[in-house]
Structure 1
Amino acid sequence: MTGAYKQNQKIKYGEGNFRALLQFRIYAGEEILASHIGICDKNASYISKTTQNEIIQCCGDAITGKIFAKIKNTKYFTIMADETTGISVKEQLAICIRYFDTTSYEIQGKFFKFFDVVDVSGENIARTILQELDRLNLDISYCRGQAYDGGSIMSGKFKGVQAHIAKVQSLAIYSHCANHRPNLAISKACSVANIRNAIGVISSVSNFFRESAGRIHKLETEVQDKLPHLKKGKHALKKMCETRWVEKHDVVLTFLDTLSCLPVVLGTISESSESRRSNVFSFLHATQSYEFLVSFWTNSGLGLEVTRIVHGCTGNNEALCLPSMDFIINELSSRFPKSELQRVGHIQKLLSPEFMCPTDYSKHSGALFSTLCRLKTYLGSTMTEDRLNGLALLHIHQDIVSALKPEEVLDISATKHKIKFSLNVL
């Protein structure tokens, strides 16, 4: 640590992660940084939140610039958008652009911005999208497609987003997002009584264990003793997602891993002085019933051996399996044109991440709203839109970040402030 830094230590413990990282670099031997922090004036340290936000924003602009340079080179593109509510209880509209990359010869899809949407009308969302495309000098006349969910705000024929954008560019054909369609088709299978009841049991039992650290510990201990091949922590029962089947399917598979251990653990809990024993007895009965086991098998992969779960039960499981399969097939037929349905292939593929995320866009967007949750936590719920977008771009497009040069970011900052930076160090 340099003498200048010792004499004028401006970074102290407890001042946040960013300053702690700076301190770490200094202790690691970063002499230039140590000299700067040690001798700089208070108003010229360049480590304030204002400077942080500006650097993050400039990084985001640099990433966006690279993405849109490729899109402009390709010329034609498709708009993809979806909205969600973050922890700050604000509507966040995520926009992605899908295009053909003439360098890699692959269809790509890139996230480029979250928007805070107060007015959630189709007209306002369409106006927001068009204004942003105009700001980035992306000509809407080259737009050839729109992909959103099936909600009326996005897909409405007269007042939806797609209708308003179609008024500006009639060649931008709307398509109900292919990722949403199979999700809705399989989720609808839960309206079959037996499947719905099985999902309800899984959700209730999972919540029962999640409410108590002691119950989870008992389950973990039993699983480790009986199923040591399972990775510790990976089989802890998860909360059921009500809207996304892929996440719901993960919950079902996790439940499957622990199913053979549940009767013992539930039996132990039922004999203890723990409250809610009446629920324990009902859970114990429900998770061992033939109807539940076969319905559970139907949900857990559409191809697993029933004997793996039922342990010697006999009966005609077709009475439970076939109605749900018929329902899924009918739903797919109504949501996909025949030509597309033939490409869907085996029903089991609908449950694999590879099918749900077949392109680079999906690879990014699959983690898009989980990225929002990681970035906009409870402590960071007041994060500004510019900072959120910059961090999201840095997090999602790490392939671009790895090739980003410091001078590219500094050039953007210099342009904003009409100054010149020099990277020459004496």
Structure 2
Amino acid sequence: MLRLKTSIVAVLRWLALQNCSFKGLDESVNSKNQGNFLELINFIASYNKDVNKVILQNALGNASYTFSTFQKEILQILAKNVQDKIRTETGESKFCVILDESQDRELREQMAIVLRFVDHDGILKERFFDLVHVENTSSLTLQQELYKVLSYHNLNPKNIRGQGYDGASNMRGEFNGLKALILKDSPYAYYVHCFAHRLQLALVGATKEVIPIQQFFTKLAIIVNIVDASSKRHDNILRTFASIGTVLLSIIKEGNSEQRANVDVVYDTLMSFEFIFIFHLMRELLGMTASLCQALQRRGQYIVNAMSLVSTTKDLIQNFRLTGWDDLYQKVKSFCEKHNVDIPDMTTLYTAAKGRSH
């Protein structure tokens, strides 16, 4: 009993709660880091003589309850308990399904299932329910796997009153998409395209209409990939601008011939006024839409509130368009002066590619 309490209650549940990995790269007895599961057992044993005697002296490396297969079995039991709790909360009420499909690290297709419902107390709840591996992402396969999960937990597909997922053709297709297949069984399962995803599509579509902006994101991706080995890669590029420049210069000096040629072009891009100006511009614009994007992902968001936020965001962008350019230019100018970036003369003629002088 002590072994089970130690391995299940004190270790497995805590790691699962904190969303930590269990296994380590080397779990042998001589390993300096055996992974979170075994290391946490070691930690507990260091404060408890009984645990030390039962777990460490007689078990590690030999007892089956320290093996990954046992850990997975216990996790499956915990997951089943969580699902049963969600099923109890759902009761016999109507519910909505929110689905998303993607590939895992082994390139296997999988489908995430989220249930949205009103519990017995009238409280709106949204719960992650299951993650299912599927053979493919065709609409029929996704429907069959969804129905299997619902049937296993005694949830009637005819009680579906809403569908929410992205705009892929296999999901929202009018005739053969998952939306259409579910509507055949449950005519009131209205489809709602994820609002945050719609905003993302709108932003992506808008940027593709402006060639310099589209080129900016392409160049930005290249810069991020090159400096990915930097310890500061997760920080904002503007705050680590000097460090990124240093990394690029070091590659130009010490890298091989191919690296030096490619990175030299990237460095010139990074130190250009145009790149810095667009970076500041997109930072301002994305900052205006960030609150809206977060709000659209809230569980209890109402359509009326969402439309009000959309209107407010449009006003912010319009005001920036009318009155924000002078402040933006001053920020860019100050940034360029700080990092010794050449600032073009704004009074001279500028000729865009294949265009007229301005």
TM over 0.5: same fold?
yes
Q: What one-letter code is carried by the residue in structure 2 that aligns with 1:176?
A: H
Counterpart residue number, 1:237: 233
* Number of aligned residue pairs: 268
Please list, as runs of the form range in 1=range in 2, the aligned pairs for 1:199-218 lying within 5 A after superposition.
199-210=217-228, 213=229, 216=230
1:257 to 207, 216, 239: 239
2:285 to 276, 287, 302: 302
Offset, 1:123: 1.0
Counterpart residue number, 1:176: 193
1:282 to 257, 265, 271: 265
1 CA distance for matches of 2:91 and 2:156? 9
Counterpart residue number, 2:48: 29
Question: RCO higher in 1 or 2 (8 Å CA, sep ≥ 6)?
Answer: 1
Residues 142 and 14 from structure 1, CA distance in 2 versus in 1: closer, same or farther, beyond 3 angstroms?
Answer: farther
Offset, 1:165: 1.1
Please list, as runs of the form range in 1=range in 2, the aligned pairs for 1:85-124 lying within 5 A after superposition.
85-103=103-121, 106-124=123-141
Cα displacement string for residues 29-50 of structure 1 (whole angstroms, at most 9, x for unaligned residues): 152684488789x999655554
2 CA distance for matches of 1:113 and 1:349? 40
1 CA distance for matches of 2:75 and 2:91? 24
2:97 to 67, 74, 79: 79
Counterpart residue number, 1:291: 274
User: Is 2:107 the partner of 1:70?
Assistant: no
Offset, 1:120: 2.1
Residues 101 and 202 from structure 1, CA distance in 2 versus in 1: closer, same or farther, beyond 3 angstroms?
Answer: same
Q: Is the 8 A contact 2:111 2:134 kept in 1?
A: yes
Cα displacement string for residues 287-338 of structure 1 (whole angstroms, at most 9, x for unaligned residues): 233332222222213288xxxxxxxxxxxxxxxxxxxxxxxxxxxxxxxx99
Residues 257 and 59 from structure 1, CA distance in 2 versus in 1: closer, same or farther, beyond 3 angstroms?
Answer: same
2 CA distance for matches of 1:284 and 1:50? 50
Q: Is the 8 A contact 2:227 2:248 kept in 1?
A: no
Offset, 1:263: 5.0
Residues 14 and 86 from structure 1, CA distance in 2 versus in 1: closer, same or farther, beyond 3 angstroms?
Answer: farther
Offset, 1:339: 9.0
Counterpart residue number, 2:214: 196
Offset, 1:262: 4.8
Q: Is the 8 A contact 1:78 1:98 kept in 2?
A: yes
Task: Provide the alpha-carbon RMSD of the alignment.
Answer: 3.6
Q: What one-letter code is carried by the residue in structure 2 that aligns with 1:199?
A: F
1 CA distance for matches of 2:305 and 2:64? 61
1 CA distance for matches of 2:201 and 2:150? 30
Counterpart residue number, 1:374: none
1 CA distance for matches of 2:108 and 2:84? 27
Alignment gaps of 5+ in structure 2: 1-26, 288-302, 317-358
Task: Indicate the SS of the match to 2:106.
Answer: coil
Please list, as runs of the form range in 1=range in 2, the aligned pairs for 1:315-354 lying within 5 A after superposition.
341-347=307-313
Cα displacement string for residues 244-297 of structure 1 (whole angstroms, at most 9, x for unaligned residues): xxxxxxxxx822222355556655655x35433333442333223333222222
Cα displacement string for residues 16-62 of structure 1 (whole angstroms, at most 9, x for unaligned residues): 5445544543343152684488789x999655554433221111111
Q: Is the 8 A contact 1:303 1:348 kept in 2?
A: no
Task: Indicate the SS of the match to 2:284.
Answer: coil
2 CA distance for matches of 1:124 and 1:44? 40
Offset, 1:161: 1.1
Counterpart residue number, 1:131: 148
Offset, 1:180: 1.3
Q: Is the 8 A contact 1:37 1:45 kept in 2?
A: no
Task: Indicate the SS of the match to 2:220.
Answer: helix
Q: What one-letter code is carried by the residue in structure 1 that aligns with 2:86?
A: I
Alignment gaps of 5+ in structure 1: 1-10, 217-232, 239-252, 305-336, 351-426
Q: What one-letter code is carried by the residue in structure 1 that aligns with 2:150?
A: L
Residues 26 and 292 from structure 1, CA distance in 2 versus in 1: closer, same or farther, beyond 3 angstroms?
Answer: closer
Residues 100 and 257 from structure 1, CA distance in 2 versus in 1: closer, same or farther, beyond 3 angstroms?
Answer: farther
Q: What one-letter code is carried by the residue in structure 1 that aligns with 2:173?
A: G
Q: Is the 8 A contact 1:98 1:107 kept in 2?
A: yes
Q: What one-letter code is carried by the residue in structure 2 that aligns with 1:65?
A: D
% identity of equivalent residues: 27
Q: Is the 8 A contact 2:45 2:52 kept in 1?
A: yes
Cα displacement string for residues 104-128 of structure 1 (whole angstroms, at most 9, x for unaligned residues): x643211111111113211111111
Q: Is the 8 A contact 2:101 2:137 kept in 1?
A: no
Offset, 1:146: 0.3
Residues 302 and 33 from structure 1, CA distance in 2 versus in 1: closer, same or farther, beyond 3 angstroms?
Answer: same
Counterpart residue number, 2:292: none
